[in-house]
Amino acid sequence: MPVPEFDALVFDVLGTLVDEPAGIRAGLRALDPSLDEPRVEELLSLWYRHIEQEQRLILDGTRPYRTSEAVDLEAARLVAAAVSVDDPAAVAALARSARRLPPWPDTLRGLSRLAERHPVIGLSNAGRTALLDINAHAGLRWHQALSAQDARTYKPDPAVYRLAVTASGRPPERLLMVAAHAWDLRGAQALGLRTAYVHRPVGDPPTGADTFDVYADSLTGLADLLERARPV
């Protein structure tokens, strides 16, 4: 499949460039060092169920918008209560673990290579403060980083993808959205953006009904594909 022409790359952050579950697992172990791995995974699932439920309510208009930082704090309180921890400082530290996320091994090299040849824009459901901390902790370098907070909603609401369209000054079809989540790419696709799926262990893989423009097994693999398609 030929690589489409594009003017800028738009990247999902959570799960695509950073290993979000790894950071939260570290926070859970710090909260209660006695937890065994099965219990850590149970609590991680509880955390994600809360995040997904609350974001869905916001997307449905059932709940007013709250930033990712606020929803993470809710999740941290829920999880801490499940292990009988009620120390506010410990709960706050657990919530902040959602911002201390390690990059995938190929992220920094792949992002650097891509940024040498194309404008790169981060587009995240993380709130402004969380996104700043995530970028700093993981060492992510952008030409621009955009938070869904500016649209007061969450992906896959079209308003979030429009932030990248507006910031880039390009029409949607000249942007290539890169993500490890098929649901995210479908949202971008609905607004007319081009799409590139990058495999990650924690991603949402495409189904047989999905047709994305580019498929890569890693971020460095994506850089290889784009360099071959558009040599200097």
Query: pLDDT digit of tens for each residue in the chain (232 aa)?
Result: 688 899 999 999 999 999 999 999 999 999 999 999 999 999 999 999 999 999 999 999 999 999 999 999 999 999 999 999 999 999 999 999 999 999 999 999 999 999 999 999 999 999 999 999 999 999 999 999 999 999 999 999 999 999 999 999 999 999 999 999 999 999 999 999 999 999 999 989 999 999 999 999 999 999 999 999 876 5
Amino acid identity of residue 176, one-letter, is L
What is the Cα 128 distance to its own chain's centre?
A: 13
Residues 9 and 119 sit within 8 Å (Cβ to Cβ): yes
Owner of token pair 């091994």: 105
Amino acid identity of residue 177, one-letter, is M
Residue 164 CB-density burial (10 A; 0-12 exposed, 13-18 middle, 19+ buried) = buried
Contacts 24+ apart (CB under 8 A), 209-213: 210/182, 210/185, 210/186, 212/182, 212/185, 213/1, 213/3, 213/4, 213/176
Structural domain boundaries of the chain?
Answer: 8-19+101-229, 21-99
Rounded to 10 degrees, what is the CA torsion of 175, 179, 183, 188? -10
Q: What predicted TM-score, i.e. pTM, was given to this entire model?
A: 0.95
pLDDT at position 232, please? 59
When the candidates are 3.10.580.10, 3.10.129.10, 3.40.50.12280, 3.40.50.1000, the CATH number that belongs to 8-19+101-229 is 3.40.50.1000
Distance CA 147, CA 8 (A): 17
pLDDT at position 230, please? 75
Residues 122 and 142 sit within 8 Å (Cβ to Cβ): yes
pLDDT at position 203, please? 87
Q: What are phi and psi of 122, to 5 degrees?
A: -85, 140
Residue 13 CB-density burial (10 A; 0-12 exposed, 13-18 middle, 19+ buried) = buried
